[in-house]
Amino acid sequence: MLSTARRRTGHGSGFGSLVAAIALTTFLAAPIGAATYSVAGFSDYAVVTGLVAPTDFAFLPDGRMLILEKAGRVLIAAPGGGAPAVALDMTASVDDGFEKGLLGVCLHPSFASTGWIYLYYTANGPKNRISRFTLVGNTISPASELIPIVLDNIEATNGNHNGGTILIGPDGKLWAAPGDSGTGGAKAQDLSATSSSRFNGKVLRMELDGSPAAGNPFLGDATKEPRIWEYGHRNPFRFSFRPSNGSLYIGDVGQSTREELDVGVAGGNFGWPYMEGTIVQPGGPGPCPMTTTCIPPVFDYARTVGTTIIGGAFVTGNAYPASLKGRYVFGDNGSSWIKYLEFDSNDALVGGLHDLATAAEGPVAFHQGPDGYLYYVAINTGRIYRIVYGTLLTTVDPCRVLDTRLPAGQGGPALAAGTDRVLVIGGRCGIPPGARAVAANLTATLATVAGNLIVFPQGGPPPTTSVLNFRAGQTRANNAVLTLGPGGDVVVRCSMPAGEVHLILDVSGYFQ
């Protein structure tokens, strides 16, 4: 499935190829940029480097990042990135030849209390497998693997077209999408409950233990595999759910003519190997059978545009300008570009394909982070990048947003130890309601004991770094760029063992 250098063609082809407050200079420029962006104001920078064939990642509730390497290592990086540590080394159990390997990760819904995670990998045999492990601190013990395995014996005969994404859907179910295992596509149409290829070329919907999920379209048909949600896919390597309506968006890698993006339909047949995108597959078995109707993709493109679609994510929140909000951002591994599409509320395409970046070093996974920014894996260089946006600062006359020395209701009282205060900035002091971030000066004074202040967007996770540190009786100030939440607000967290501190916050400009 994955290669860092080239992409083969033909029937056996695979696919080859928090910080809430940061310094102004970091907001506008960053080290180790990757892609060349065609839209003004966008750039990216590497938050994790030195990886060996990374395939996927997931954010933990505290902002840490779980990272997969194809050979079978799970790494863990601190919030904001940096050098990761090895949480699990299962290389002895993973077959990473050709397109096989450790391919997908997601968190169990009860992760906060159990530490459970799911991994999708190619076990020796070979066979693709979904299994559950337990994370404790920064370590995953191999012995924590759930036995019996959540789902086993997903055929991996040819070593390619393995799929790899696993996600918890908005319905709370476990979703996966194995590929057709690179044997010409017939397996994608095989729904038999007893067939060895019943999982291949399908989207699967399961209960959290791997059993068939309630409400599945073939659940009442004893002749068909009950975990199947839809079928007729070639290699649906990356998929995601649209936050606004829960629709399933699947990037299905093509063979020789088209790359396609599908919107999931319960019980639907998406046509492979009869169809490739919107055309009859050259050299295939012919048009769709009379007994079924093949569902066309919501969007497809020719291989002159790109060669290996990588399903992406919908942009939500306030980190990017209005032109990107609600858009679907995705990539192409073989052509190393990043582009975006617009869809209406009924998942119909609006307009055409929009350029965002080129030279993206072989993207293989996209996720939106808890800070609202998009992140992607560049397998060719072993890096994970954050996509940022920073237009020039629009200045306003310096204006005081908060002074807790004033009476209660006018800014006071002081910030008490261990408390949060929500502060609305958008719509005040000349800052427009839609601003994404503000240039601010924060001053702490009259502290009764030493402590620090952490500032982060309302609704986002708190970072592990403070924006301002102080000692008892000391007056300290610091300049920062504060990212705003969707409501134009931030949370100020007072981290002190006891006592209180006064805060003065002035703004001098904003970013949109």
The whole-model pTM stands at 0.80
**What tens digit of pLDDT does each residue of 179-220 get?**
999 987 999 999 999 999 999 999 999 999 999 999 999 999
Cis peptide before 148 (omega within 30 of 0): yes
Residue 25 predicted with pLDDT over 70:
no
Name the 3-class secondary structure at 467.
Answer: coil
Is residue 400 predicted with pLDDT exceeding 50? yes
pLDDT score, position 65: 96
Query: Which 8-state DSSP code applies to residue 234?
Result: S
Token couple for 382: 């072993």
Q: How would you class 47 by CB atoms within 10 Å of its CB: exposed for 0-12, middle for 13-18, buried for 19 or more?
A: buried
Residue 53 CA from chain centroid, whole number:
17
**Do 47 and 57 contact (CB within 8 A), yes or no?**
no
Residues forming beta bridges with residue 44, ordered by sequence position: 387
Q: What percent of the chain has pLDDT over 90?
A: 77
pLDDT given for residue 1 in this prediction:
46
Model confidence pLDDT, tens digit, residues 464-506: 678 899 999 999 999 988 888 888 999 999 999 999 999 999 9
| Tens of pLDDT, residues 406-449 | 999 999 999 999 999 999 999 999 999 888 889 899 999 999 99
Measured between alpha carbons, how far apart are the two ends of the chain, in Å? 39
Which of the listed ranges 5-14, 80-89, 301-310 does the model predict with the highest average pLDDT?
Answer: 301-310
Task: Read off the pLDDT band of 321 (50, 70, 90).
Answer: confident
pLDDT at 450 > cutoff 50: yes
Please tell me the predicted confidence (pLDDT) of residue 12: 35
Given pLDDT bands bounded at 50, 70 and 90, which one contains residue 392?
low
For residue range 116-140, what is the model confidence (pLDDT) as tens digits? 999 999 999 999 999 999 999 999 9
pLDDT of residue 486: 83
